[in-house]
Structure 1
Amino acid sequence: MSVRDHPGLGNLSAVTTGFENVPTTALADVLGRAQVMDTGIRPLWQPVPSVAGPAFTVRCPPGDNLMLHAAIYRAEPGAVIVVESGDLDYALAGGNVCAVAQRRGVAAFVVDGLIRDLAEVRDNGFPVFARGVIPIPGTKKAVAPLNGEVRCGGVTVNGGDIVVADEEGVVVTPFARRDEVVAAAREKLAKEEAQTLDDWEAEHRARIDKILTDNNFEG
């Protein structure tokens, strides 16, 4: 499904309203493990800025990067391009592709695969979350639809789902749950900010001691 097929997605900034500055930890607590990409999908340079945007999804078969290269001209400003790839033997993008995507307003790449020209990408400050780098590029032959369902980092992602990525990892909020999830995450953050460390410690110790007592722990 295309981002444009979702009602209310004419303004991409409106779609992610509320997700700005919400850390992945808060979203992961609300959504659970199934919506958190595996630890292989990580920022390729540090310190990486926090990123939030609607997914523009791409599927690339083994050894081929054509559709990611096509996507940078079709994704709207503010989108996070999310890529399912077929291998870890070839780079899906390099410095120029990342630079053009950045210039066109793409917020970040989240890639279940590899890129190259990391120094250029890092110097330009373009956020890339991927499995690593390799110097050899893929070919450009395989045409496939854009914005369909993909798997990236073990998570199913559809066009328009909200992707939040930071130094802790990548979390995907299904489009239909965006309002519910961001409200719950912000409520959790507000509670945490209002709680002192002393309060947290007392509550935490009581909870841990109860679990131990309930399980007949002695010590």
Structure 2
Amino acid sequence: MTEPAEHTDGVPDFEAFRDIPTTTLADLLGVEQVMDIGIRPLWGPVPRVAGPAFTVSCPPGDNLMLHAAVHRAAPGSVIVVESGDLRYALAGGNVCAVAQRHGIAAFVADGVIRDLAEVRDLGFPVFARGIVPIPGAKEIATPFGLPVRCGGVRIEAGDVIVADEEGVIAVPATRAPTTLTAARTKLTKEATQPLDDWERAHRTRIEEILKARGFEG
């Protein structure tokens, strides 16, 4: 029997998405929902994380709202930050420790953090553009829950964020149930297909493409 793709209240089954590789989701959703290569895990091997996006916007050089978000986001949330600034850190070791204590699943930030050794020792997943030792200011208050852009992808609060060592995917909440069902079907098919069968199908497909393009050799 197929497992339900969403809870009975219509909320996406975020926990179930932890079983789905980002490669599978990328095949189903396309490049528009895949964050660019700059948003990457800052330590490894990182566990796959999945959860609802808690969206935060931090103006360049300022990290006030990310620091506020760790006290407001629900347990299991992935805090997604729009910033784009590479000069000042959005967070450090203590902020990541508090987020972990509050049950936050991960940070996904279009920006940089600091105290990487502390974050790595904590085992707190952070996907961002890198590290820098300079802390940001705490001056500018912006609303939570508005759409943000992170890694070139538009994220709305409540979208499903799935992140692992391959990258970060944003599954729109409205597409989460059908995407989860399709992903499970795809993974089941792949798991039961012998490599010999895959190779035959792959070679047939490649040869057909070559022939259609006039390749001989």
Give the TM bin, normalised by the shorter chain: over 0.9
Tell whether 2:195 aligns with 1:177.
no
Q: Which residue of 1 aligns with 2:52?
A: 54
Does 1:133 find its partner at 2:131?
yes
User: How big is each residue's C-alpha offset from its partner over 1:26-79, in whole Å with a ceiling of 9 and x where there is no partner?
Assistant: 000010000000000000001000000000000000100000000000000000
Cα distance in structure 1, aligned partners of 2:13 and 2:68: 23
Structure 1 unaligned segments of length 5 or more: list them: 1-6
SS at match of 2:45: coil
1:17 Cα deviation from its structure 2 partner = 4.1
- Structure 2 distance, partners of 1:86, 1:169, is 18
Deviation at 1:93, TM superposition (A): 0.1
- Give distance in 2, aligned partners of 1:191 and 1:90: 46
Q: Is the 8 A contact 1:43 1:130 kept in 2?
A: yes
CA deviation profile, 1:88-112 (whole Å, cap 9, x unmatched)? 1100000000000000000000000
Measure the CA separation in 2 of the matches of 1:114 and 1:106. 18
SS in 2 for 1:190: helix
Q: Is the 8 A contact 2:66 2:90 kept in 1?
A: yes
Q: Deviations over 1:132-178 (max 9, x none)?
A: 00000000000000011000000000110000000000000001110
With the length of structure 1 as denominator, give the TM-score of the two structures: 0.93
State how 1:75-94 maps to structure 2 within 5 Å: 75-94=73-92
Preserved CA contact (<8 Å) 1:63 1:86: no
Give the one of 67, 84, 104 matched to 1:106.
104
Secondary structure of the 1:176 match is helix
Deviation at 1:18, TM superposition (A): 2.6
1:144 corresponding residue in structure 2 = 142
Q: Secondary structure at the match of 2:99?
A: helix
State how far apart, in whole Å, the 2-side matches of 1:205 and 1:33 are: 25
Which letter maps to 1:128?
V
By how many angstroms is 1:215 displaced?
Answer: 1.4
2:26 alignment counterpart: 28
Are 1:64 and 1:92, in contact at CA under 8 Å, matched by a contact in 2?
yes
Aligned length: 209
The 8 Å contact of residues 15 and 50 in structure 2, kept in 1 or not, is answered as no
1:41 aligns with 2:39: yes
Q: What's the counterpart of residue 194 of structure 2?
A: 196
1:87 Cα deviation from its structure 2 partner = 1.2
1:154 aligns with 2:152: yes
Q: Give the letter for the 1:113 counterpart.
A: G
- Match of 2:63? 65
TM-score normalized by structure 2? 0.94
Structure 2 Cα separation of the partners of residues 65 and 125 of structure 1? 22
Give the partner amino acid of 2:40. R
- CA RMSD, Structure 1 to Structure 2 (Å): 1.0
What is the alpha-carbon distance in structure 2 between the residues aligned to residue 204 and residue 191 of structure 1? 15
**Following TM superposition, where does structure 1 have runs of at least 4 consecutive aligned residues deviating by more than 3 angstroms?**
none
- CA offsets, 1:160-205, max 9 Å, x none? 0000000000000001110011111111111100101111100000
Give unmatched runs, 5+ long, in structure 2: 1-8
